[in-house]
Amino acid sequence: MVIGGKMEESINNQIQAEFDSSYLYLSMAAWLEAQDLPGCAHWMKKQAEEEWKHGMRFYDYLVSRGGRVMLKAINAPQCEWKNAVQVFSNVMEHEEKVTSLIYKMAELAESEKDYATRSMLTWFIDEQVEEEEHARAILVKFNKLGENPVSLSMLDRELGARA
């Protein structure tokens, strides 16, 4: 069965959202590099790679279901932040926004009786739980420890260890 028009449009929108996320996280990495926080930048670059892979996962799924990928413009990301806490606060907010987009897609799949897409989206729903959990844990550490040089150095080292 070929994927329906509303679902195809929704997946194309999500491909763009995932690529936008990747670009945003790469912008955050660049800002963190400029703040001499290479570990935080490393974590963010890994996050950017992961979001790109998510976009490609949607891309491949759409093709496999006989849909047509219609790429949209990637938006220019924010490129300035007040401090590292604000960066990771924005990560948390952004992941919550992406979660809401995935949920809306799941609701659409259910309403369209597109059970294959609904099944595929389970992976993304589970992934978003993990994404929010990681972002929240990092933000809690930043808020708890503050941004004094010792705390920043410790957190930067920890985040730089991300595989």
**Residue 11, pLDDT score:** 98
Q: Which range has the worst mean pLDDT, 3-7, 20-24, 135-139?
A: 3-7
pLDDT for residue 1 is more than 80: no
**Residue 98, pLDDT score:** 97
Report all structural domains of the chain as residue ranges with CATH numbers, in order of start.
5-160 (1.20.1260.10)
What is the arithmetic mean of pLDDT over 20-38?
A: 98
**Residue 93, pLDDT score:** 97
By CB atoms closer than 10 A (0-12, 13-18, 19+), residue 99 is middle
**Residue 16, pLDDT score:** 98
Taking each helix axis from N to C terminus, what angle separates 84-111 and 115-145, rounded to the nearest 10 degrees?
Answer: 160
SS3 percent helix, strand, coil of the chain, rounded to 5, is 80, 0, 20
Number of neighbouring beta carbons within 10 Å of residue 162: 14
Residue with tokens 């410790």: 154
Number of neighbouring beta carbons within 10 Å of residue 24: 23
pLDDT for residue 4 is more than 90: no
Give the pLDDT band (50/70/90) at residue 148.
Answer: confident
